[in-house]
Structure 1
Amino acid sequence: MTKIRLTLPYVFIFLLTALVLDLANPFFDKPARDGGFFLYAGSQILDGKLPYQDFWDSKGPGIFYINALGLVLGGGSRWGVWFVEFFCIFGTFVLLFRSLSKRWGEGAAFFGLTLAGFGLRTVLGYGNYTEEYALLFNAAGLALFLSMVDVERSYWKYLWVGAFFGLSFTFRANNIGGIFAILGAFFLFYGFKRSYLDALRIILVMLAGFALPLLLWTMYFAVLGNAAEMVYASIVFNFSYSAAKDREWLDILGGFGRYGMDWYGWFTLAAWLGLILRFLASFVQRNVSVFEVFLLIWFPIEIVLSNLSGRNFTHYYISWTLAVAIYAAFLFAEAWQLAFKVSALEGWSEPLGAIASVVFIVMLFVISPSSWMRYSESIRAGGGEYIDPISAYIRDTTDPEDLVLTWYPEMGISFMAERTSPVKYLYYPLFLEGSLTKEIEDRYIEDLTETPPQLILDCSRSVDAIPSLDPVTREEQYATPGVKRKMYIQPGMDEIFEFVEANYQIENTIDGCLIFRLNQD
């Protein structure tokens, strides 16, 4: 009976993870734009191509290679990547549950984890994002930090905290709000006590750990002769990207709007405001802990980092997941203490924990029965993957060695069609004005004109973010009020338009996308 009771929370976590990843089910949908690019990148690595040299993106190398790992595990199937996603999210939830249970009891852990899971489901969408995989490493770093805040210092553990966040950084630079908050907490806590040497030692050890994964990746790419390009793309370029878009101060609060975590973000903000009251009470009593300082500064840091670019993409707020769990658990523990005059850690009995586990498990089935029906259908079908009509057409009308360019860069189509793009800078049409260099534009045009693809897929009308390659369609776009003003129109696009008009003809239209075929001599 004891084994069953101990297993129930992990059954809940397993089911919660599956619910979070419902839309990412490869059987029903094609990958999202970013996720599709990372799948394409992983497949290119398995074909012997090198990130930043043969294909380029401003993300750290971690996301490309973890997709390659997933494809290896799945034998080239998207299901392999889905299982890696599942492992990372499940591991994140397990680390959170165990850490929160030790600090505030299982009741607080269930509450915080449930809100975090539903919040993550709101912003994850079709999945395979950099922020998603980084959650596991951030959770490991935070769990290690939480295990030390009330005990004697261990510099080896501080080194590992830094290393876990360093791994997170190699997926996306904005994913490291946790380590900023930890470093800031130690600096403020020991600085206020005038123990500057203690603060300096801890900070330097954590920074050394943080640098270790970056150093290893740099050495790896140095052996391949591409270290400088990796550092530029994954770190330096992101500064120009963040500065390329004008934004207002209110843009920092984008995570609380239509593209954010919905009311889960607002609830976390309310919990943070409650934490301020707790902090002030501890400050008056001269009993502030480093953990309270951490909680005071952590959520504001996450808010700022997730909105640095000024572009409100929903997946930017995946990184809030850990904060939702911890602040919600804190608020639960405070409310329990006020209501029952006993701490949530002491007042939550084992039988109550078992009952709560069953209730939360049943709740998951009641809340979203359609999700479990989708999984059942996937299992009955023996897995399988959805292939959209465009990818199927490209696969059927080209040879495996033919090059295919996607003008609006939906690289998930290239992945599903198993075709390679001729260009290195796949996202050239969507570069912001302040981040596009002449070298990038010249290289794109050179790749296109010197190795012309057999097909060009033009899905520009799907969102009207860039001009169509077809002059008639382009004029229709320009004639639509307000469309041209919001477009990405790069300086060298006219040269591309002329090249396509001289060398290609429209062969077909599928789902609103134009398919151009290279003229045969």
Structure 2
Amino acid sequence: MNKWLLIVLAVLVACVLLPNTPLHREIPTRDSGVFLYIGQQILDGKIPYRDVWDHKPPVIHYINALGLFIGNGSVWGVSFLEFGALYLAGVLSYIFTKRALGVAPAIFGVIACFVTLTLLLGGGNFTEEFALPCQFAALYLFWQSEQRGDYSWRGFLIGVTAAISFLLKQNLIGVHLSIVTFLLLTRASQRRWHDLFFHLTTIFLGAASIILIVGLYFACQGALNNLWNNVFEYNFAYFITTIGNRTTALVAGLVLTSLSGMSILALVTWFTGVIYMLRDKSEIKDKKALLLLSLVNLPIEFFLVAVSGKAYSHYYIAWLPVFTILTSFFAYVFTVRFYPRLRTASKMARVMSVYLWVFVFMGMIYWPGTTLIKQMVTLSNARQATGHQMAEYIKRSTNASDYVLIWGAETSVNFVACRQSPTRFVYQYPLYTRGYQSVALIKEFLDSIATNKPVLVVDTSPSNELIPPLDPIAREKWSLASENYGILPAMDSVFDYIASNYRLKEKVGQEQWPVYVYVEE
């Protein structure tokens, strides 16, 4: 890979990440705050799920632990790992698409990928980011395996990348499911049963080896049941939603990624690719395996992202690998089919072609560029500013050994203030999630705060409509605007305990978070 391309890619990745670094964020976002807090707990000897509750699989927590170790407790260490992951994804994407489709399509696809990422990376430190190298590596290994007609160790590595992606987030294995589907379709149609068995076995062994190692580790720590409960049982309940919500999530993702034009180009190429496959076009004859894979992969990715019914922007990062292939194919077909004709075309036609590509490029970067500038200028919203103010308040008002309960989902405050939560429920969504919540969980939560006696309880409900206020008058006026969450009667014991043992001291920040202080007996 040309050194200048490596430098340009590094600059591109840095620009995408810059608004999400500590340089521009006073406090991490909600998801990032949870990962960072658990990462710090790991460095302190704690085990995820057993000692700290979260519903994400374990890899993201250990990535954050590694980043904090590298940064000596600073979030910059995690930002460094983010840069490395995205840079590696870009390199793999370019090398893979260059060898498969050529230089120009590869450059076009990589630029489209990272320009679109700007629209999706609100806050950073997401599981989807760290899965990108695994997804592009799997695509590269697949392409090499098909070129050589041999999976063997490459199939094993595809399985390894599948396991890592799955252990980052369960729905990030769309690329790998597509590879398995491709093998089933092609090998079965050709009656190559021996090859099918061997290829699938190597992939399975690669995935199983990683899953087994991780499972044994948590079993030895007495946390395997907790892992299953948090990561699988909770998410089964979390993903219960309507077809309407899933459709809305799908459409929202297509609209968001259309701001760079990437979803539009991908869909056009997908439909065109179906026609090309049916007509057996000679231009793509040696690219059929890759094209078929992308045709299979796109609907799988759409389903896996939309299944939760949630329209968080970072969810759509999972679409970028298949979008990159399809947009690269778009550029490839142009260079193969239309570019040669321009050599003999009139001067006006060549000029119009140049203007067309300039228009496409400018349209591709306009909204992402505007988004990037806004992110650079707007340092934080009111909730994040209040979180930063609260973290500073806690540092001044408590000792390093004191427990502080953040009532809500702002775990980043615990992390920034360097104060431990008195309970493993560092955010309380599991106590409210229908299909998962239980009296036993509420009792565990109450017992932990009664035992550890946090010196402060910070009510973040003014910034989160899913969280019931601690103030009884405010709670009477509050209504839960979500079909996925509910309040069990057993929560009254928690409200009563806090009301009996804590008094309102003051309200802090733009969002006016109430701070309750423990009343000595």
TM (norm. structure 2) is 0.86
What is the CA distance between 1:184 and its match in structure 2? Answer: 0.1
Please give the alpha-carbon distance, in whole angstroms, between the structure 2 residues aligned to 1:235 and 1:341: 53
Amino acid of the structure 2 residue aligned with 1:520: E
SS at match of 2:179: helix
Please give the alpha-carbon distance, in whole angstroms, between the structure 1 residues aligned to 2:248 and 2:206: 33
Partner of 2:217: 220
What is the CA distance between 1:50 and its match in structure 2? Answer: 0.9
Query: Residue 461 in 1 paired to residue 462 in 2?
Result: yes
Contact 1:35 1:129 survives alignment (8 Å): yes
Q: Paired residues, what number?
A: 489
Amino acid of the structure 2 residue aligned with 1:339: F
Contact 1:237 1:435 survives alignment (8 Å): yes
Structure 2, unaligned runs of 5 or more = 343-356, 380-385
Contact 2:265 2:330 survives alignment (8 Å): no
Amino acid of the structure 2 residue aligned with 1:272: W
What is the CA distance between 1:374 and its match in structure 2? Answer: 9.6
Please give the alpha-carbon distance, in whole angstroms, between the structure 1 residues aligned to 2:388 and 2:255: 28
After the TM superposition, which parts of structure 1 deviate over 6 Å for at least 4 consecutive aligned residues?
Answer: 283-288, 363-367, 369-376
Contact 1:365 1:372 survives alignment (8 Å): no
Amino acid of the structure 2 residue aligned with 1:446: D
Partner of 2:441: 440
Structure 1, residues 351-380: CA drift from partner, whole Å, max 9, x if none?
xxxxx9xxx9xx99998599699999x9xx
SS at match of 1:150: helix
Please give the alpha-carbon distance, in whole angstroms, between the structure 2 residues aligned to 1:250 and 1:365: 27
The equivalent position to 2:189 in structure 1, one of 189, 192, 196, is 192
What is the CA distance between 1:320 and its match in structure 2? Answer: 1.1
Moved more, 282-291 or 22-31: 282-291
SS at match of 2:504: strand
Please give the alpha-carbon distance, in whole angstroms, between the structure 1 residues aligned to 2:118 and 2:45: 34
Contact 2:459 2:469 survives alignment (8 Å): yes
Structure 1, residues 226-264: CA drift from partner, whole Å, max 9, x if none?
223223433444233223x33426246245356666443
Contact 2:237 2:434 survives alignment (8 Å): no
Please give the alpha-carbon distance, in whole angstroms, between the structure 2 residues aligned to 1:247 and 1:325: 28
1:146/1:285 Cα in 2 relative to 1: closer, same or farther (>3 Å)? closer
**C-alpha RMSD over aligned residues:** 3.1
SS at match of 1:149: helix
1:224/1:47 Cα in 2 relative to 1: closer, same or farther (>3 Å)? same
Amino acid of the structure 1 residue aligned with 2:152: Y
TM (norm. structure 1) is 0.86
Moved more, 463-472 or 64-73: 463-472
Partner of 1:353: none
Partner of 1:57: 54
SS at match of 2:306: coil
1:477/1:373 Cα in 2 relative to 1: closer, same or farther (>3 Å)? closer
What is the CA distance between 1:486 and its match in structure 2? Answer: 6.4
Partner of 2:9: 13
1:485/1:280 Cα in 2 relative to 1: closer, same or farther (>3 Å)? closer
What is the CA distance between 1:139 and its match in structure 2? Answer: 1.6
Contact 1:254 1:260 survives alignment (8 Å): no
SS at match of 1:267: helix
* Percent of aligned pairs with the same amino acid: 28
Partner of 1:352: none
Amino acid of the structure 2 residue aligned with 1:13: L
What is the CA distance between 1:393 and its match in structure 2? Answer: 0.4
What is the CA distance between 1:507 and its match in structure 2? Answer: 1.3
Partner of 2:297: 298
Please give the alpha-carbon distance, in whole angstroms, between the structure 2 residues aligned to 1:486 and 1:470: 23
Structure 1, unaligned runs of 5 or more = 344-355, 379-385
Query: Residue 239 in 1 paired to residue 240 in 2?
Result: no
Amino acid of the structure 1 residue aligned with 2:38: A
Contact 1:189 1:290 survives alignment (8 Å): no
1:453/1:487 Cα in 2 relative to 1: closer, same or farther (>3 Å)? farther
1:439/1:309 Cα in 2 relative to 1: closer, same or farther (>3 Å)? farther
1:41/1:208 Cα in 2 relative to 1: closer, same or farther (>3 Å)? same
Please give the alpha-carbon distance, in whole angstroms, between the structure 1 residues aligned to 2:374 and 2:243: 43
Partner of 1:270: 268
Moved more, 166-175 or 177-186: 166-175
